[in-house]
């Protein structure tokens, strides 16, 4: 079984990881980079390399554990299946997986940490996403506040009316309480027989999401 500290280091280095059991041994692999895929595509055009050689290249790039994994230790059919799976999860051949991955990343971009990182990166060009990932929440929040101030100063320098642009974070619990209070106020003012605020049709008419 792989050591948890090593697994954490591998995730930090390579990002998302995948695993498979081969002859009771755990094999961990990652997605191919565009550069690696381009090289593999180039090698496929050369007569000196067979498809078996190409599969070996795919595995040598993608397998991160065990180190120096020897493909000769496993059956050829397993090598082919694993190479095909690596190409699939890399989103380079399978359109459905590529679309699914992109949509997932779009959702993740709306998470608080990523919204804060995007705001800073759009304003302060000296930081990289990797550097921001190393920060604490307080440090990142400080950079967000600095970015807001930079935008304000730039607008003043260029004679642009201040837009008071700030990164607004929403507390779901607070929003839920506001909704309950709003519904309660409306229901108190309704007469018998009128639609209550919880009525889905009424909510739609009043501009509320169902």
How do residues 4-37 score in pLDDT, each as one tens digit? 899 999 998 898 999 998 888 889 999 999 999 9
Angle at 138 between CA 135 and CA 139, to 5 degrees: 40
The residue with tokens 């500290």 is: 5
pLDDT of 206 strictly over 60: no
- Give the whole-number percent of the chain exceeding pLDDT 70: 88
Q: What is the mean pLDDT of residues 112-131?
A: 93
Distance CA(73)–CA(67), nearest Å, equals: 14
pLDDT in tens, 145-200: 999 999 999 999 999 888 888 888 877 787 778 778 777 776 666 666 555 555 55
Q: What is the mean pLDDT of residues 43-60?
A: 91
Specify the pairing of strand 25-29 against strand 63-65: antiparallel
| Per-residue confidence (pLDDT) for residue 210, from 0 to 100 | 45
Q: Average the pLDDT over each of 97-111, 132-146, 158-172 and give the range with the smallest value.
A: 158-172
pTM, two decimals, is: 0.63
Longest dimension (CA), the chain: 84
| Per-residue confidence (pLDDT) for residue 191, from 0 to 100 | 61
The residue with tokens 């990652």 is: 30
How much is the mean pLDDT over the chain? 85
Q: What is the mean pLDDT of residues 118-127?
A: 94
């Amino acid at each position: 079984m792989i050591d948890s500290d090593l697994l954490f280091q591998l995730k930090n280095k390579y990002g998302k990881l995948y695993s498979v059991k081969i002859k009771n041994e755990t094999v961990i692999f990652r997605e191919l980079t565009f550069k690696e895929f381009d090289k593999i595509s180039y090698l496929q055009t050369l007569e000196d390399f067979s498809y078996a050689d190409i599969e070996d290249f795919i595995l040598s790039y993608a397998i991160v554990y065990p180190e120096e994994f020897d493909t000769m230790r496993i059956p050829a059919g397993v090598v082919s299946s694993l190479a095909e799976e690596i190409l699939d999860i890399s989103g380079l051949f399978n359109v459905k997986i590529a679309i699914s991955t992109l949509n997932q990343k779009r959702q993740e971009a709306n998470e608080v940490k990523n919204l804060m990182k995007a705001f800073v990166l759009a304003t302060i060009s000296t930081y990289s996403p990797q550097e921001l990932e190393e920060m604490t929440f307080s440090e990142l929040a400080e950079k967000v506040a600095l970015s807001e101030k930079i935008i304000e100063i730039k607008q003043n320098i260029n004679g642009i009316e201040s837009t008071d642009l700030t990164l607004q974070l929403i507390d779901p619990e607070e929003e839920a309480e506001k909704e309950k209070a709003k519904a309660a106020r409306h229901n108190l003012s309704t007469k018998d027989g009128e639609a209550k605020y919880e009525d889905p049709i009424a909510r739609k008419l009043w501009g509320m999401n169902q």
